[in-house]
Structure 1
Amino acid sequence: MSDAKSLKAQAWTLFDRIVELAAASEGRTTGTPWFRYADGRLTYWPDYAVLQQLLGVPLLLNAPSQSGVPALGLDVWTSYELRRAGFEPDLVWPRATPPRILPSTLVALRREATREQLRVLDSMLQSGKTYNNETGASANILGKNYVKQVDVVMSAWNTGPEILISTKRMDSSFGKNAANRVEESYGDAKNLRSRHPQAALGFLFSLRSTALKPQFEDVAAWIVDLLGKLGREDDAYDAVCLIIPEWSDEVAEPSGDDGDGEDPLVSAGLTSARLPEDEPLPLELPESEVDRQLRQLPAVELNRKAVPSTLSPEVFFATIVNRVLDNSPVNFHREARRRRANPA
């Protein structure tokens, strides 16, 4: 097993346990992420505590950026929030269990299968094999001109993609890589929007708080300004989100150049040289051992004051959810509509 694949297997073990515990806790409370204030404002309230835990996993594992683990924490949180909003869990990718991508036709097949058929089918699906990339951990979506690996997706056979969210993370090298990350995201938005005009298109960007230090403040201001402009065009993103995590300098930060491990040529199907044969599966560890590791997670805080309200996760998720519900018939996504109509 390659180092990157081993790190992902370790990360999935911790990610899954964090999400499992959070989902169980959510079920014991209101069961909806929507809140209505006394003045009548309806607000989506993200689970920031889960995000902080997920962001601590790559730090605990000292996972380099090229492994894909640091960015994966953002994907897990984003898909977790979409499930909190009430969307069909199996159709939101990455799923909370392997395989992380499961086409809607296979979801329907599982529902109709007998117990014996289900046993055989699940043994295949949970083996880690990607079956020509139809299941697995990477969703490659055809845009107008090229195929793009999209980090968080909600899609079904009868609807096509309804949510397409890209995530990027920058923990260092702010001046070196900032322009590349933003320019790439702008081109990706145009490419995806042209083929999927009705999909809710989002971009979530994580910028480490050290970018706010005086020596980087001009670059940080430039990044924040560009992020705000990415969501202003009708043919680009519907919503853009900024999170600013901070952690102690004593914690070893993930090494690398803030790449996310994606290879555009692999996504396009031009080469399979870097495409793993199997999906990394969570390690089979006792819950007590996993919980012990979670107790050792480095503390990660969120600087929410430095995030403009238009780029806040509250606005981001509300916009994404509302666009999906507004662009679909009233008999679609009933649970998401119910949760929005019954805020805490």
Structure 2
Amino acid sequence: MGAKPKSTKAEAWVFFDRIVALAAPGGVHSNPWIKGPEGTTRFEPDYDTLTRLLGVPLYLKAGTQSGVPALALDVWLSYELRRAGFGRDQAWPRPLHPRILPAPVTALLDSLPSGLRASVEERVTKQASIAGVTSSSASILGKNYFKQVDVIMTDWATGPELLISTKRMDSSYGKNAPNRIEESYGDAKNLRLRHPLAALGFVFGLRSDILQKEPKTAAWLFDLLAKLGQEDDAYHATCLILMDYSDDTAIPDSGEDRHAEGLPEHGLAPENEEDVPVPIPTFDVDQEIARLPKVTILETATPENLSPGRFLEAMVNRVLAATPVDVHEEARDRIASA
């Protein structure tokens, strides 16, 4: 039997990892905080990196069932949390394989003698996943059921500190929008009731042609997204990312995305759920990144209460407000040094 073919997601990770590495040379991230009037600060997202990441599923012609279109949003949000001052291993998905590596495992690796550490690290990084140890995704127990959370910060000592769910819709708006909103509201209540101190957010990626094709659906969707971030028992903040790209690069609509497939998994995702990223020479990856389809974020068409900057500011401040001043010191310093 031949080797198992690599998945589209494994190929996409090569692009995603390289894009965020180029955005943070040597692992050094820019400070997203900008001084505003009267000493206030605001979070300025890195839209250039976002548009490159969003170009990857278009370039790979990755259908919705591959999970790649929505994954582009997850990768960007995790990258923005690192810009805010949270550590590489704190914000999941991590910018390298494995995407989820629990803090105790990281601490164990750091404590090992160099020879043994290299051997264990090789096992951790070369396998797709190790059951109960590493994974590409994780589920968190809410009040009544487990829920896969797309972007997460958690540790055994603190419990979940940040939980962000993402969904994406590039077509069939009138058919899919009600289902996505209903699912999101139920998920919010489920998570909020068990983890009231965690910063709970929801990000919705939406192709901008909805504004021309189905303006009434767009207005209805924007209104409900805003209300999801105002309920006392739902999300602390919600976000809309309006994506504009040409029809000739459109994503194939292959059915429901990964967020709607099957029952929620308990804890870490099953072993071998995802391939290790495909090894491709950096020079070749950079050449392909230069050919990614153009994507634009329609900032002016996005309601202010759903803007990515406002959302990220709310998420970061919520995490810091719920922890002592000697926790997440780098994130606090970045705000102070804006």
TM-score by length of 1: 0.93
Residue 195 of structure 1 corresponds to 194
1:38 CA displacement? 4.7
Task: Give, as a single letter, the amino acid of the residue that structure 2 aligns with 1:226.
Answer: L
Residue 11 of structure 1 corresponds to 12
Contact map agreement 1:63 1:255 (CA 8 A) in 2? no
| Deviant stretches of 4+, over 6 Å | none
Task: Give, as a single letter, the amino acid of the residue that structure 2 aligns with 1:238.
Answer: H
Q: How many residues align?
A: 335
1:253 CA displacement? 2.3
Deviates more, 1:231-240 or 1:168-177: 231-240
- Whole-Å Cα distance in 2 between the matches of residues 74 and 104 of structure 1? 23
1:152 CA displacement? 0.3
1:121-173 Cα shifts (integer Å, max 9, x gaps):
21121123422243111111111100011000001110011000000000000
Contact map agreement 2:139 2:264 (CA 8 A) in 1? no
CA separation of 1:261 and 1:181: change in aligned 2, threshold 3 A: closer
Task: Give, as a single letter, the amino acid of the residue that structure 2 aligns with 1:267.
Answer: E
> Structure 2 residue aligned with 1:322, among 303, 314, 317?
317
Residue 280 of structure 1 corresponds to 275
Structure 1 segment 78-97 matched on structure 2, within 5 A? 78-97=77-96
- Whole-Å Cα distance in 2 between the matches of residues 96 and 261 of structure 1? 21
1:273-320 Cα shifts (integer Å, max 9, x gaps):
xx5625322111111100011011000011111111111011100000
Helix, strand or coil: the match of 2:39? coil
1:81 CA displacement? 0.4
Mark the runs of 5 or more structure 2 residues left unpaired by the alignment: none
1:234 CA displacement? 2.0
Helix, strand or coil: the match of 1:256? coil
Task: Give, as a single letter, the amino acid of the residue that structure 2 aligns with 1:233.
Answer: E
Residue 163 of structure 1 corresponds to 162
Residue 339 of structure 1 corresponds to 334
Mark the runs of 5 or more structure 1 residues left unpaired by the alignment: none
* Cα RMSD for the two superposed structures: 1.8
Residue 307 of structure 2 corresponds to 312
> Structure 2 residue aligned with 1:298, among 287, 293, 297?
293
Residue 71 of structure 2 corresponds to 72
TM-score by length of 2: 0.95
- Whole-Å Cα distance in 1 between the matches of residues 271 and 253 of structure 2? 22
Contact map agreement 1:247 1:300 (CA 8 A) in 2? yes
